[in-house]
Structure 1
Amino acid sequence: MNAKRLLLSKLPLLLLMSTIAISCTQDKSHRKAYQWPQIDPPIAAIKPHVRSLHGDTVADPYYWLNDYFKKGPDSSAVIEYLEAENAYTDSMMKGTEALQAKLFDEMKGRIKEQDESVPYFKNGYYYYTRTEEGKQYFKFCRKKGGLDAPEEILLDVDRLAEGHPYYAASGFNVSPDNRLLAYGVDTVSRRQYTIHVKNLETGEVLRDAIPGTSGGSVWANDNRTLFYTQNNPATLLTEKIMRHTLGADSDGDGVVYHESDNTNYIGVGKAKSGKFIYIYSGGTLSSETRYLDADDPMGTFKVFQPRMPEVLYSVTALADRFLIVTNQNATNFKLMECPFDQTGQEHWKEVIPHRPDVLLEDVDEFRDFLVVSERKNGLTQLAIRNLKDGSEHYLDFGEEAYTAYPSANPEYNTSTLRYGYTSLTTPSSTYDYDMVTHKKTLLKQQEVVGGYNGADYVTERLYATAKDGTLVPISLVYKKGFQKDGNAPLLLYGYGAYGATMDPSFSSSRLSLLDRGFVFAIAHIRGGQEMGRQWYEDGKMMKKKNSFTDFIDCGQFLVDQRYTSSAHLYAMGGSAGGLLMGAVANMAPKLWHGIVAQVPFVDVVNTMLDESIPLTTNEYDEWGNPNDEDAYEYIKRYSPYENIEAKAYPHILVTTGLHDSQVQYFEPAKWVAKLRTTKTDNHVLLLKTEMDYGHGGASGRFDYLKEIALEYSFLFALEGMVD
């Protein structure tokens, strides 16, 4: 449901097929229809429940399915229903078990099991993670002074995860004196972390254990004070910024900021220079920053600039002044500066003006340089500014469609920029860039075990015309030998919410689709921020339907251009992209042969009316608050659950997690239950609930591939490509 909890694309490894073989898979005569078992699906019980609001009365017979979440009387019945749906899915997909196993081995076989991340330098140490053969997790390590120094294993996550179906460790944060490591642990997949502190000299994990947090933390410069974000235990909202002193009981931690507006997210961070600690409070439309001298942890945070209506701003500290990225009178944002002792907006001076064709996304500060992340024509740009002489230049990436971004750059006193680069055909790559000499150095490119040649694949950037005349970008990739005759299967992915951009990137798992003749495409629809801030504004609130019609228009364009046909067109999206899937299934059911809806946000009205559901109130500026009658009517007209009709739908696979904190399991469960009893077709409808996981699926680096193998097998079954 949220950009900050954006479901990263799980779209998903051996290059076994030649160009000739791929061409053959596009020929329907070489396919054999999968025989779906003729068994009856589970039918959820109907229990009376009525929603009445704004003079509108709506029956919701599957409302009871939220009882496991609400700890209601039907909790056990909910689990029984979800398990019955799982058993049905397993039975329906039984004929694909061999294929699923093959796909899993294929995709896992492309992953280098014994691997190491590119080390980054911070405060005298090189930090990195490494993985071992057969292990699901990783080890967090460092070396002092140089890469030839002895290795210190700071955290062995492989060992810590033993015995846990789910284990996530994050928020690694080493104290300024390099002696202590703070880190967060979640063993339930609800994104509720307990912060622990480890003495790196003795190996002892201190008795300090702070539950109910977002996982991250910030050290003050005294090496004994931690600031962290505490979540509300029921709604999971980021609610308080707390101050913890080592050795003290966390029950006595002090509140340094309490967010009174439950539509805002809050967080705490630290300037790269180490001089300031920040508290950020922001919603979709406005924000506010507080700051504190990191040498004075017991001091009082100061308001940088009081919140202004419909103005967002973020703060970065240089050695002698603050920089401010803001949209004040600047739709695509601009860069301002002010002195340390005069932070009110009346003292802000312009550094980079607003540009109608360039979105200013972020700045990354160094002692002598500033790296500005921008977006133009839907693509990322990195501008390098020399703070000494004011000169500026851009990095040249040399491809038509790509993704580039600043990577790990924790060191302030350096002239080297670490950045990442990828495209639909270029594996994830890490570069160092000397901002003085302009020299690029490739440090590492993701290895695809078994061999990979990017020249065997073709990527294109297309534009579909939306119904209102807007040009919507589409990025796509396929293997050479593809014939544009309408017979190829095509998977169209979309998200379109929170201003999150779905930039083109490489996936080794996706090769299992491409090597079997699939085309993979991303629809860069409104609601994201690919084409600037207005692109987002035109796909949210009372313009949300633009996201859905854009996606439909992209699908129709690909059919019209003979990249595929409706008999071979598939759609996929997760979370807010799952809402997209539900909406396009209702609005254009005949366009798609099949849909994969991952953890879909499909019961929008009821969720946005229930403030006890985690993160609901944070979403009002994204979807609208249905307590307002106009918002209620608009949301109700597109919410997938509300708009199921007695008509034929595509084949649909729905996935969810019982412990999902972002989109609760009962939304997809209710949607499937209602679809089963309403739709008029005999197409396949499957619900798979991971009983041990949450929003992002499995935590191990291989287990998630089983989910992808299921999704791909569903698509291959619909294409008659199981053998």
Structure 2
Amino acid sequence: MKKFYLTLFVMSNSLFYSQTFPNIKAPTAEKKEHIRDIHGDKVNDPYYWMIDYFKKGKDSTQVVEYLKSENTYWKEMMKDTDSFREILFQEMKARIKEKDESVPTFKNGYYYYTRTETGKQYFKYCRKKGNLNASEEILLDVDQLAEGHSYYSASGFNISPDNTKMIYGVDDVSRRQYTLYLKDLTTGETTPLGIKNTTGSATWANDNKTIFYTAKNPTTLLTEKIFRHTLGTDVAQDHLVYEEKDKSNYIGVGKSKNENFIFIYSTATTSSETRFLDANNPNGTFLVFQPRMKDVLYDVTALENKFLITTNKDALNFKVMETPLNATEVKNWKDFIPHRKDVLMEGISAFKNYLVFSERQNGLSQLVIYNRKTGKKEFLKFDEPTYTVYPSGNPEYNTDNFRFGYTSMITPSSQFEQDLSTGKRTLLKQQEVLGGYNKEEYITERLFATAKDGTKIPISIVYKKGFQKNGNSPLLLYAYGSYGSSMDATFSTTRLSLLNRGFAFAIAHIRGGQEMGRQWYEDGKMMKKKNTFTDFIDAGEYLVKEKYTSSKHLYAQGGSAGGLLMGAIVNMNPSLWHGIISQVPFVDVVNTMLDESIPLTTNEYDEWGNPNNKEAYFYMKSYSPYENIEKKNYPNLLVTTGLHDSQVQYFEPAKWVAKLRDMKTDQNIILLKTDMDYGHGGASGRFDYLKDIALVYAFMFKLEGIKQ
């Protein structure tokens, strides 16, 4: 009987799906000829017209109508999960401590913190003077400000040196184009500064009346200019202090932790440049710290007697160098922490008496305390096989107290304070999981898959005790794999809804990230990008081989550049996956990288290549998900996007879905969900995003036959 049931299940896939999902005709997108002709290669793109909402073209209305029809379709296909999704939403929401408060952070005489209230989507930004028993001052009530907005983001809170004024940014569209506001903390009066299209923050000079801010290009959204503004003057009089001419660079402005310098940063993927100015002389001229050098990145940390430079100059994994305050060119740099082949230097937390180095070794993050007087080093040690540790909440320079965060796949996010002089460690707060949580009921492991070229790929995995490694258990595999971003093992309260229903969750630490050092990133970008995709496939095949799951129960998830990963793996090995969740996916690589009017395109040349170059064009084309769809079977897909996405425009996933539907030869389903009010990060409220997670889980549960 058992054997007959399994055979019937395999032979009746189409019957199984027709019983699982209603028999509703999916939307069909119209085809319109559009020829791309470059490098002697002519390609017809029949769905190019979907760009018209972004371009404000003649087919703009048709685009919106098509996206709405896709939204109607997914809602009908998932209608029988409505009540289950509500249960999941309430279940995940119930784990969140609604009335909560962050650990107060001390700076310049005040303790700053945020607090949330029951039933409220946002937060209140507050402070207390001198000690935590002082009366509370609400600096910004974001709950109140967000009323009437479908999306609202307030960020970049920056207090003047004399503690009397605050600058902050607001984005109520979800395209990361912020407007700056000034609040007088003595009178409570808030004033729009008339400064729009910024990154959302500004930097104070020490005179308490001058700020520096970054301006974006309104079309490409590139950060292009740094302005100086004097409070009380017209914005039209703002002085341009820097303009970036290289369209592949991101720029920004900030202040040294010791408050002595204003820094302007200009950074691309492979090179960078810093300018600096005495924070007491805001009308002065910014000096170039060191002119940009080919293939050299550097980051500057100011101490009271010298500068430290974290750089990859002659150091693949970065090292720390030092130079006098009055002699900053590279010829004056001397090694402070030499380069190590097996350790990636990631950053410095500076204090008057100590330095704390953020490093990465064997794929794990680590913190190293350095005594500036004695030169003694101390490593912070942790016991779990896979975890994440990082500096957290250290704005004060003149203190010996260092705060850091710690989490793992079974340990809730925790914030510690360590006295750097005595070594005493105090747990300040651990994320509270309402309804009860016992980490002893869950198991986390660190595994290694072997890639086709012999490289060992780390995998972090978590599951609930009782999980059967018999090939019949469901597993969700996640990765990102781009920009050198390391996807570390962290805890998630929402993930418990997955684990408690029998799923395992795993992160594949694939090349393109930086988990195993800088070379790990170099081997997963540009003309080596395909390593990212094959690593992920090899990780999936390893988990199947070791019977953590099987292809009938294996799911994959990725977003943005991780969505590109999802698109590539379904083309390269579609039969390995039962379902794919591709969120705000970058899947139309060639067309987007050829169009400089699309936001952030030129910033990406050092990551993907410039397709105006023939070799780069054909390499991109060989893996771009949209370009490589074929007439064959594909797994079930849930694809999400946002109409106002500034990072990956809505038309990429929309075109991808339309072409997949047209080409695929199976009965599996593809759902496209477009948030008509949001952008790249989804909903802004602290509960609304749970509805998106509930949909993702319900999609997989539906495919697994899990109904409660």
TM-score in same-fold range (> 0.5): yes
Question: Does the 8 Å CA contact 1:207/1:247 hold for their aligned counterparts?
Answer: no
Once the two structures are superposed, the pairs formed by residues 216-365 of structure 1 within 5 Å of their partners are 216-365=201-350
* Alignment counterpart, residue 427 of structure 1, candidates 386, 390, 412: 412
Partner of 2:428: 443
Q: Which amino acid aligns with 2:515?
A: E
Once the two structures are superposed, the pairs formed by residues 459-470 of structure 1 within 5 Å of their partners are 459-470=444-455
Once the two structures are superposed, the pairs formed by residues 205-216 of structure 1 within 5 Å of their partners are 205-216=190-201
Partner of 2:518: 533
Partner of 2:120: 135
Q: Which amino acid aligns with 1:178?
A: N
Q: Is residue 166 of structure 2 the alignment partner of residue 181 of structure 1?
A: yes
Once the two structures are superposed, the pairs formed by residues 628-707 of structure 1 within 5 Å of their partners are 628-707=613-692
* Alignment counterpart, residue 90 of structure 2, candidates 98, 105, 124: 105
Q: What are the Cα deviations for residues 302-354 of structure 1, in whole angstroms up to 9, with x where unaligned?
A: 00001111000000001110000000000000000010000011101111000
C-alpha displacement of 1:682: 1.0
- The structure 1 segments of at least 4 consecutive aligned residues displaced by more than 2 Å after TM superposition are 32-35
Q: Is residue 138 of structure 2 the alignment partner of residue 164 of structure 1?
A: no
Partner of 1:13: none
C-alpha displacement of 1:40: 0.3
- Distance 1:473-1:207 versus aligned 2 partners, 3 A rule: closer
* Alignment counterpart, residue 560 of structure 1, candidates 528, 545, 551: 545
Equivalent-residue separation in structure 1 for 2:28 and 2:234 (angstroms): 50
Corresponding residue SS for 2:587? coil
Q: How many residues align?
A: 694
* Alignment counterpart, residue 376 of structure 1, candidates 347, 361, 368: 361
C-alpha displacement of 1:722: 2.0
C-alpha displacement of 1:210: 1.0
* Alignment counterpart, residue 75 of structure 1, candidates 56, 60, 65: 60
Q: Is residue 602 of structure 2 the alignment partner of residue 617 of structure 1?
A: yes
Corresponding residue SS for 2:150? coil
Partner of 1:58: 43
Partner of 1:193: 178
Q: Is residue 373 of structure 2 the alignment partner of residue 385 of structure 1?
A: no
Corresponding residue SS for 1:188? coil
Q: Which amino acid aligns with 1:251?
A: A
C-alpha displacement of 1:250: 1.8
Equivalent-residue separation in structure 2 for 1:399 and 1:523 (angstroms): 18
Corresponding residue SS for 2:143? helix
Equivalent-residue separation in structure 2 for 1:640 and 1:253 (angstroms): 45
Q: Which amino acid aligns with 2:127?
A: R
Question: Does the 8 Å CA contact 2:511/2:531 hold for their aligned counterparts?
Answer: yes
Equivalent-residue separation in structure 1 for 2:384 and 2:229 (angstroms): 48
Equivalent-residue separation in structure 2 for 1:391 and 1:528 (angstroms): 31
Corresponding residue SS for 1:491? strand
Equivalent-residue separation in structure 2 for 1:108 and 1:206 (angstroms): 35
Question: Does the 8 Å CA contact 2:320/2:335 hold for their aligned counterparts?
Answer: yes
Corresponding residue SS for 1:643? coil
Q: Which amino acid aligns with 1:255?
A: L
Q: Which amino acid aligns with 2:601?
A: T
Q: Which amino acid aligns with 1:501?
A: S
Corresponding residue SS for 1:584? helix
Q: Which amino acid aligns with 2:343?
A: V
Question: Does the 8 Å CA contact 2:194/2:235 hold for their aligned counterparts?
Answer: yes
Q: Is residue 704 of structure 2 the alignment partner of residue 719 of structure 1?
A: yes
C-alpha displacement of 1:207: 4.2
Equivalent-residue separation in structure 1 for 2:313 and 2:623 (angstroms): 32
Q: Which amino acid aligns with 1:144?
A: K
Question: Does the 8 Å CA contact 1:583/1:640 hold for their aligned counterparts?
Answer: yes
Equivalent-residue separation in structure 1 for 2:376 and 2:227 (angstroms): 42
Corresponding residue SS for 2:91? helix
Partner of 2:498: 513
**Relative contact order, higher structure (CA 8 A, sep 6+):** 1
Corresponding residue SS for 2:195? strand
C-alpha displacement of 1:496: 0.1
Question: Does the 8 Å CA contact 2:20/2:703 hold for their aligned counterparts?
Answer: no
C-alpha displacement of 1:35: 2.3
Runs (5+) with no aligned partner, structure 2: 1-8, 11-15
Partner of 1:543: 528
Q: What are the Cα deviations for residues 279-319 of structure 1, in whole angstroms up to 9, with x where unaligned?
A: 00010110000000000000000000011110000000011
Question: Does the 8 Å CA contact 1:197/1:209 hold for their aligned counterparts?
Answer: no
How high is the TM-score relative to the length of structure 1? Answer: 0.95
Q: Is residue 471 of structure 2 the alignment partner of residue 486 of structure 1?
A: yes
Q: Which amino acid aligns with 1:284?
A: T
Equivalent-residue separation in structure 2 for 1:251 and 1:428 (angstroms): 45
Q: What are the Cα deviations for residues 126-162 of structure 1, in whole angstroms up to 9, with x where unaligned?
A: 0000000000000000000000000000000000000
Q: Which amino acid aligns with 1:224?
A: K
Partner of 1:592: 577
Q: What are the Cα deviations for residues 196-255 of structure 1, in whole angstroms up to 9, with x where unaligned?
A: 010011000124231010001100000000101100000000000111111122232111
Equivalent-residue separation in structure 2 for 1:537 and 1:486 (angstroms): 34
Q: Which amino acid aligns with 1:136?
A: Q
Equivalent-residue separation in structure 1 for 2:667 and 2:60 (angstroms): 30
Equivalent-residue separation in structure 2 for 1:262 and 1:197 (angstroms): 30
Equivalent-residue separation in structure 1 for 2:174 and 2:382 (angstroms): 37
Q: Is residue 112 of structure 2 the alignment partner of residue 120 of structure 1?
A: no
Question: Does the 8 Å CA contact 1:653/1:686 hold for their aligned counterparts?
Answer: yes
Corresponding residue SS for 1:314? strand
Corresponding residue SS for 2:292? coil
Q: What are the Cα deviations for residues 654-713 of structure 1, in whole angstroms up to 9, with x where unaligned?
A: 000000000000000000000111111110100000000000000000000000000100
Equivalent-residue separation in structure 2 for 1:214 and 1:193 (angstroms): 6
Q: What are the Cα deviations for residues 400-456 of structure 1, in whole angstroms up to 9, with x where unaligned?
A: 110000001000000000100000000000000111111110000000000000110
Equivalent-residue separation in structure 2 for 1:399 and 1:126 (angstroms): 32
Partner of 2:5: none
Partner of 1:10: none
Corresponding residue SS for 1:209? coil
Equivalent-residue separation in structure 2 for 1:244 and 1:487 (angstroms): 62
Q: Which amino acid aligns with 2:258?
A: S
Once the two structures are superposed, the pairs formed by residues 27-38 of structure 1 within 5 Å of their partners are 35-38=20-23
Runs (5+) with no aligned partner, structure 1: 1-27
Equivalent-residue separation in structure 1 for 2:567 and 2:606 (angstroms): 21
Equivalent-residue separation in structure 1 for 2:200 and 2:373 (angstroms): 38
Equivalent-residue separation in structure 1 for 2:664 and 2:236 (angstroms): 53
Question: Does the 8 Å CA contact 2:180/2:192 hold for their aligned counterparts?
Answer: no
- Give percent identity, aligned residues only: 68
Q: Which amino acid aligns with 1:158?
A: D
Q: Which amino acid aligns with 1:130?
A: R
Corresponding residue SS for 1:721? coil
Q: Which amino acid aligns with 2:488?
A: D
Partner of 2:6: none
Partner of 2:443: 458
* Alignment counterpart, residue 131 of structure 2, candidates 146, 156, 171: 146
